[in-house]
């Protein structure tokens, strides 16, 4: 057991106001491996006060000073890279290769993307006699999840630092160690005191008072739609800016002119990656009804090549899901799929064969799913895919859009055909033919998948206020 009991406030590691601890569980072993302190509203007050005091000076730093700061952060991050990846494997169960090549890699990628944007970004422009200024929004509160932890931290912290904001971060208490290391990175890199502050804790104890705090100018939250609604309500009384990246139930339309072997196999591996714990996972695969039997055979073969096991072992495709709470929720939804009449193609309830410890879920595929079934409506957040047959293209688009979510979508088929279908989906992202992520593209959702955008220049500008100075260029 290692202790991480201090908070990072005003440039130093300090004890919490009230002593209360939480064990951090390794989901592969179900054993605690670390302890953190759980914060309170009193810690929030201290951290917000530090960020507020730091804002006047940091907000007026030059572009060059912030460029050099981001470069310094990247250099220190690279030194701690292996530790960050190892922490993510231990606290949320991602296989080593995924932690090293995707999870930890996203942190450095967001830092670099925002550095490059900052180098050329124009914070002032003229519109006739008026000068338009883009200025940092102020003190920001960041509440981040456990599924892609350092990705979600850096896609908020990097642009906020780049434009001159100060901030308080509350990472997920389920996977908090990577954030602790990241705070050490920022300290060593020379981030001025008070600019970045870290408090551990849960939603009621830290998230709510942080969202409601009168001296917080913006709150950026990533997590479930249910929790995002609570954040919005807490923030409403002070009319602060709220950016939300929430749940998803992404449709994956396989058109009749797609390469079915490639499309279905790739979709299964995409769905199962990170143990299905991605808000933009392609969880509803829509296929022509006349070809569903063919799809079932391909999907079954692909899923049975997904090996759930020890995240530190060679050959593991997916690790455990993050916690007992998640494991039980996923098991309940798998059982619900069976009870509601979906066809279980492979997988099902319980742990994978030969596994008797750890929060491991069998890679599971259902077919003959209708869009009114629970497994087609609710975000499962586990390695569970639903295959839904459609009659024709109109039916596919209708089913795809028949959801309260709108974070991502997928269309596979002949490129021009796929582009036309993509234009009809009510989602913030659409991946054509399993296109990978683009860090310069905006990431965010329609409907109950949130508001605002992260990543690239769109994410950068979320942290800017716009001021018009009239008469600036008057003759």
Catalytic site positions: 245, 279
Q: What sign has the CA pseudo-torsion 263, 268, 271, 272?
A: negative
The residue among 182, 25, 20, 215 whose CA lies nearest residue 108 is 182
What's the rounded Cα separation, in Å, for the pair 55 and 67?
17
Backbone angles phi, psi at 211, to 5 degrees: -65, -35
Q: Is 396 left (phi over 0), alpha (psi -120 to 50) or beta?
A: alpha
- CA atoms lying within 13 Å on the CB side of residue 427: 31
Q: Crossing angle for the helix pair 63-92 and 104-120, nearest 10 degrees?
A: 170
What's the rounded Cα separation, in Å, for the pair 115 and 159?
8
Contacting residues for 435 by C-beta, under 8 A, at least 6 apart: none
Tokens of 444: 């965010």
3-class DSSP state for residue 79? helix
Chain length of the chain: 475
Q: What is the DSSP track for 81-113?
A: HHHHHHHHHHHH---HHHIIIIIHHHHHHHHHH
Contacting residues for 17 by C-beta, under 8 A, at least 6 apart: 39, 40, 42, 43, 46
């Amino acid at each position: 057991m290692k202790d991480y009991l201090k908070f990072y406030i005003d440039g130093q590691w300090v004890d919490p106001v009230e002593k209360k601890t939480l064990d951090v569980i390794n989901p592969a072993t179900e054993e605690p491996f670390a302890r953190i302190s759980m914060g309170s509203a009193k810690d929030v007050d201290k951290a917000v006060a530090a960020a507020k005091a730091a804002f006047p000076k940091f907000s007026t730093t030059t572009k060059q000073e912030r460029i050099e700061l981001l470069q310094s952060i990247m250099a220190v991050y690279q030194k701690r890279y292996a530790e960050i990846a190892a922490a993510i494997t231990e606290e949320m169960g991602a296989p080593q290769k995924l932690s090293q090549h995707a999870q930890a890699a996203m942190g450095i990628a967001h830092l670099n993307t925002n550095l490059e944007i900052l180098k050329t970004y124009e914070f002032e422009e003229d519109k006739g006699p008026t000068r338009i200024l883009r200025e940092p929004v102020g003190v920001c509160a960041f509440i981040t999840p456990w599924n892609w932890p350092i990705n979600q931290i850096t896609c908020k912290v990097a642009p906020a630092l780049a434009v001159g904001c100060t901030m308080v971060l509350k990472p997920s208490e389920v996977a908090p160690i990577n954030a602790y290391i990241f705070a050490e990175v920022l300290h060593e890199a020379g981030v001025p005191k008070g600019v970045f502050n870290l408090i551990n804790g849960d939603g009621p104890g830290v998230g709510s008072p942080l969202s409601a705090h009168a001296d917080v100018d913006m709150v950026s939250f990533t997590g479930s739609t249910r929790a995002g609604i609570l954040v919005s309500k807490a923030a409403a009384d002070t009319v602060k800016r709220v950016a939300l990246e929430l749940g998803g139930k992404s449709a994956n339309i396989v058109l009749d002119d797609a390469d079915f072997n490639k499309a279905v196999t790739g979709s299964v591996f995409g769905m199962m990656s990170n143990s299905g714990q991605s808000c933009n996972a392609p969880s509803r695969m829509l296929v022509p009804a006349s070809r569903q039997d063919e799809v079932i055979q391909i999907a079954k073969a692909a899923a049975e090549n997904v090996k759930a096991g020890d995240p530190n072992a060679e050959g593991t495709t997916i690790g455990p899901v993050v916690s007992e709470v998640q494991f039980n929720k996923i098991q309940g939804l798998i059982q619900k799929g069976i009870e509601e009449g979906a066809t279980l193609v492979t997988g099902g309830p319980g742990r994978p064969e030969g596994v008797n410890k750890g929060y491991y879920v069998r890679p599971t595929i259902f077919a003959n799913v209708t869009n009114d079934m629970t497994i087609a409506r609710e975000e499962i957040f586990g390695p569970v895919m639903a295959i839904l047959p459609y009659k024709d293209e109109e039916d596919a688009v209708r089913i795809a859009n028949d959801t309260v979510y709108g974070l991502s979508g997928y269309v596979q088929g002949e490129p021009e055909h796929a582009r036309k279908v993509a234009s009809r989906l009510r989602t913030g992202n659409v991946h054509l033919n399993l296109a990978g992520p683009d860090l310069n593209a905006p990431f965010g959702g329609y409907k109950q998948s949130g508001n605002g955008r992260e990543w690239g220049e769109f994410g950068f500008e979320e942290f800017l206020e716009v001021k018009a100075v009239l008469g600036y260029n008057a003759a």
